[in-house]
Amino acid sequence: MGVPLYKMHAINSRGLALGSGKLQTEGEMATSLPITQQICSSGPPTSSATSAVPIAEVEDCLIYDRNGLRLTFKSLYQTHKAIIIFVRHFLCYTCQEYVEDLSKIPQEMLLDADVRLIVIGQSVFSHIEAFCSLTGYQYEIYVDPERHIYKKLGMKRGEIYEETASQSPHVKSSMLVGSIKSMWRAMTSPAFDFQGDPLQQGGALIIGPGPNIHVTHFDMNRFNHMPIDGLLHLAGMQMVDFNRHAKIIDV
Domain that holds residue 137: 9-23+35-249
Q: Is residue 3 part of a domain?
A: no
Q: Average pLDDT of the chain?
A: 76
Q: Counting Cβ atoms within 10 Å, is residue 57 exposed (0-12), middle (13-18) or buried (19+)?
A: middle
Interval 189-218 mean pLDDT: 84
Q: Give the pLDDT score at 137.
A: 97
Q: Is residue 206 part of a domain?
A: yes
Evaluate the CA torsion angle 139, 136, 149, 174 in order and state its sign.
positive
What letter would DSSP give residue 145? Answer: T
Amino acid making up residue 223: F
- Which CATH number belongs to the domain containing residue 142 in this structure? 3.40.30.10
Q: Is residue 29 part of a domain?
A: no
Q: Is residue 175 part of a domain?
A: yes
Tell me the DSSP string of 150-170. Answer: HHHHT--BSEEEETTPPPPTT
Q: Give the pLDDT score at 29.
A: 35
Domain count, the chain: 1
Interval 199-226 mean pLDDT: 91
- Pick the more confident residue, 103 or 45: 103
Q: Which of 3-17, 23-37, 118-132 has the highest mean pLDDT?
A: 118-132
Q: What is the pLDDT of residues 166-181, one digit of tens each?
A: 577 777 755 655 566 6
Q: Is residue 148 part of a domain?
A: yes
Q: Give the pLDDT score at 173.
A: 59
With CA atoms as reference, report the closest residue to 193 among 99, 116, 93, 90. 90
Give the pLDDT band of residue 224 (cuts 50, 70, 90): confident
Q: Is residue 118 part of a domain?
A: yes
State pTM to two decimals.
0.72
- Pick the more confident residue, 88 or 161: 88
Q: Is residue 30 part of a domain?
A: no
Q: What is the pLDDT of residues 27-54, one digit of tens each?
A: 333 333 333 343 333 333 434 443 478 9
Give the pLDDT band of residue 93 (cuts 50, 70, 90): confident
Q: Is residue 2 part of a domain?
A: no
